[in-house]
Amino acid sequence: GVTTTMKLVEELRGMVADGLAKSPDQVEKLLKEQLVEVLRRVQRPYLAIKRELAVILVVGVNGSGKTTSIGKLAKYHRDAGQKVVLAAGDTFRAAASDQLEIWGERVGVPVISHQPGSDPGAVAFDAVQAAQSRGADVLIVDTAGRLHTKFNLMRELRKVREVLRRQVPGAPHEILLVLDATTGQNALTQAKRFRESVDLTGVVLAKLDGSSKGGIVFAVANELNLPVMFAATGETVDDLAPFEPKQFVEDLF
């Protein structure tokens, strides 16, 4: 975002004026340190508290890579030796649960779904029951790719959150927003809208593999105080990894 950039430029100017950086290399080094600091300031552990059943609600607009990111997140938890259940809460888009079923098969986790057009709250309710009866460690709930302008969809999102909260203490334990790294400033607007509806706990950055360098990460950290929890850098099921600020900044240069 423009605000973030201006702030960094001002700080850097001050450092150069104070004689802290004399050569271009020193300026680059200081800039890198500042960028890492912007990201580190908001970082926090993912699922910090150990729970019997961890519930993760995933939100994001259609086309952001949300369903794909859920599949990859399921694989991440499977690889950590955890039992995972997926909930096809996007009942708004006919193909959404089919897409999630495909991911479920690919990574070997069960998917709880209802008919298209049914109540997402009911899907969430059934998914918790299924996860508990199967002794699952993690439940990941997909939601409709709500365009952030559709008020009734945002209301529905809050309802799903309430259903989860009533069944599992403290749930959802993470509310992750999937952002398409290539959409720039628009991603920031999306994040703000979602944050007005639900208490986001972090961001999953999808499509960080293309021409996008993901500068939006700094704006999300600085202007929204949200940490990037995971970044997906390609098309394979294994390319979702916990976000590393220092590595990310190195890759930018």
Instruction: For residue range 137-187, list pLDDT tens digits in order.
Output: 999 999 988 665 567 778 888 999 999 999 999 999 999 999 988 887 888
Residue environment code for 38-70, b if the CB has 16+ CB neighbours within 10 A, otherwise e: bbeebeeebeeeeeebbbbbbbbbeebbbbbbb
Summarize the confidence of residues 116-140 as an average pLDDT: 97
Q: What is the reported pLDDT for 225?
A: 92
**pLDDT confidence bin for 125, thresholds 50/70/90:** very high
192 or 230, higher pLDDT? 230
Lowest mean pLDDT among 5-9, 70-74, 165-169, 192-196: 5-9
Sign of CA dihedral 228, 60, 132, 130: negative
Q: What is the reported pLDDT for 217?
A: 84
Q: What pairing do the DSSP bridges indicate for beta strands 111-112 and 54-59?
A: unpaired
CB atoms inside a 10 Å sphere around CB 186: 14
Look at residue 27 and give its three-state secondary structure: helix
Residue with tokens 């059943």: 53
Q: What is the reported pLDDT for 77?
A: 98
Residue with tokens 């890579």: 65
**pLDDT confidence bin for 244, thresholds 50/70/90:** very high
- Single pTM value for the model: 0.91
- CA distance readout (Å), 111 to 158, 164, 247: 22, 17, 34
Summarize the confidence of residues 47-61 as an average pLDDT: 94
Residue 150, token pair as written in the block: 């559709």
**Could you report the per-residue pLDDT of 62-94, keeping only the tens digit for each?**
888 999 999 999 999 999 999 999 999 999 887
Q: What is the reported pLDDT for 149?
A: 58
Tell me whether the omega of the peptide bond preceding residue 172 falls within 30 degrees of 0, making it cis. yes
Determine phi and psi for 69, rounding to 5 degrees: -65, -35
Q: What is the reported pLDDT for 23?
A: 85
Q: Using the 8-state DSSP alphabet, how is residue 242 labeled?
A: E
Q: Which of 167, 252, 243, 174 is nearest to 205 (CA)?
A: 243
Residue 128 has pLDDT above 90, yes or no: yes
- C-alpha neighbours within 13 Å on the C-beta side of residue 118: 15
CB atoms inside a 10 Å sphere around CB 250: 12
